[in-house]
Chains A and B, each alone.
Chain A
Amino acid sequence: MWSRRTFIAEYSKSELQEQHFDSIFGQLWLILNPLLLSGVYYLLIVIIRGSSDSTRYAHLTASLFLFYLIANSLSSGVKSVTTGQKLILNTAFPRMMLPISAVVVAVTKFLPTLGVFLVIRTLIGLPVTWQMLWAIPVLLITILLALGLAIAISCINVYFRDIASFLPYLTRTLLYLSPILYEASTMIPKVRKFEVFNPLFPILDSWSRTMVHGQAPAMSSVLQALAWAIGIFLFGTYFFLSREREFAVRL
């Protein structure tokens, strides 16, 4: 797989080009889109709660941007195998390169928004600490989880083509179940117990703690996130590899 990295790089690049992200307005939109989204959700929070502060806005943007890394991996990963039909029917190559490219695209789209968040963070004057370096392992765990999810869903889509239309509801549900519009620390303990079943919960909680509050995340959260990510990644790759041989007759 590593020897084919040029293909993955080239394929994601052309995918991005196709979505016009090589033009100035395309890149501007890449930043504008999540900013507008966070603005809308912030408005929602202010209306529902009646008040809010800048730290809450920072939490919202940081979590939302990371959430969109996963959501984008899912939405471009889901159709990666079915749109690669021609290539699959004509060439023998590791099919897993297709969903992996989708995740590479999602990560490329995420990086500028990370820059935007760092600017927001500086403007608000949040503390800068060494603990923020925890963001790196948390981000790596997120990418592993995104890979697992994209690989699994691209394979499921071969058998059930309507998964792609069902997906927006799934991501929307995940968005509301995850600590994005609210903070994990403000949740009722009774409800929070159930968050063990949400793979995004420990990731987003840890991310907010490091990136927004400049604290080290709870070790239990990081380990829980890692366990989820490894579990989903192994499940996804096993499922994909056991099925990829028959993609050519299923497409």
Chain B
Amino acid sequence: MPSVSNSHKSGDIAVSVRDLSLTYTTAIDRKPTLKSRAKSLGRGTKQTRVVNALSHVNLDVEYGHVLGVIGANGAGKSTMMRVIAGILPPTEGRVEVFGKVSTLLALGVGFNPAMSGRKNVYLGGLAAGMSRGEIDDHFEEIADFSELGDAIDAPMRTYSSGMYARLAFSVAATTRPDILIVDEALSTGDAKFKEKSLNRMKELRGDDRALILVSHAMLTLRDICNDVAWIHKGKLVKRGNPDEVIDAYQEFLQVGKSAAIDEDV
């Protein structure tokens, strides 16, 4: 297995988020048009709305640690991951990242469904700044890990959501990033693949890499994380020992320990 050497020691800071706030303006229409803009000219209807996605969040992630991130839908978890990954610029505060980040955000790698899985892996890798040679080196391992077999050369529109997730996770995990961000991306995989990806995450943790795991699967988070952060409406509510934070979160949600929240990754 080709392994990129890791120059970071356990305990070094991997990601440092200081007083991070994010406010953005977005269109109210899903598809803003010139027509709707012209129509609203005389009426003074608003075309955009301001979203306060995150306010004054402080968070550190150390190498060799796994940080779990929990919170209700729309709490700002994915937005925060995008800021850490450098996709969205922060409005206020600083985000410092010491190392190479690989992201596995909610949408997966599939970026052109008409093209084969192989093509998508190459394009995704090249866009993320890898060289063709680096992707060549990893490709066998990615294909093996995903267990897609011949489907790797089939167009991605023929993939099931589980297959998407497998390929996406394989890309993110086998390129051996210093920092891996996994955002609710594994909930569609089957039990066997979930187990395999959990093992891989533990392996990466043991290899002193940093992981951030956004999930609604409390049991998994209790098992794998060193730390859990609970985000509510863009604010960091509580951070610390997984059991404590998760218990507090579940009490807040008043769902108790039902089976539904323990199952997914």
Contact = CB atoms under 8 A, between A and B. Distances in A.
Nearest to A246: B24
Interface string B17-30: 00000001111000
A6 interface: yes
Contact of B127 (A7, A166, A245): A7
A248 interface: yes
A160 interface: yes
B127 A93 contact: yes
Interface string A187-220: 0000000000000000000000000000000000
A84 B128 contact: no
A90 B123 CA distance: 13
B26 A91 contact: no
Interface in A119-141: none
A10 B116 CA distance: 13
Contacts of B107: 86, 89-90
Given A245-B89, A249-B26, A89 B82 contact: yes
B33 interface: yes
Contacts of A91: 85, 87, 103, 124, 127-128
Interface string A214-237: 000000000000000000000000
B86 interface: yes
Interface string A136-165: 000000000000000000000001111100
Interface string B99-130: 00001010111111011000100111011110
Interface string B68-102: 00000000000000100111110000000000000
Nearest to B101: A92
A10 to B, nearest CB: 6
A214 B89 CA distance: 53
A71 B77 CA distance: 42
A245 B88 CA distance: 7
B192 interface: no
A84 B111 contact: yes
Contact of A248 (B25, B87, B122, B131): B87
Interface residues of B, number: 37
A87 B127 contact: yes
B255 interface: no
B32 interface: yes
Contacts of B111: 84, 86-87, 90
Chain A contact surface mostly? helix
B132 interface: yes
B33 A162 contact: yes
Nearest to A90: B105
Given A89-B105, A90-B103, A160-B33, A18 B115 contact: yes
Contact of A166 (B24, B34, B119): B34
Nearest to B131: A6
A90 B34 contact: no
A14 B123 CA distance: 9
A166 B38 CA distance: 14
A239 interface: no
Most buried by B among A11, A84, A97: A11
B43 interface: no
Contacts of B46: none
Given A14-B123, A86-B111, A90-B87, 14 more contacts: A3-B129, A4-B126, A4-B127, A4-B129, A11-B123, A86-B110, A87-B111, A90-B105, A93-B128, A97-B127, A160-B37, A162-B33, A249-B88, A250-B26
Interface of A: 3-4, 6-7, 10-11, 14, 18, 84, 86-93, 97, 159-163, 166, 245-246, 248-250
The 6 A-B pairs of least Cβ separation, nearest first, read A7-B126, A92-B86, A162-B33, A160-B34, A86-B111, A87-B111
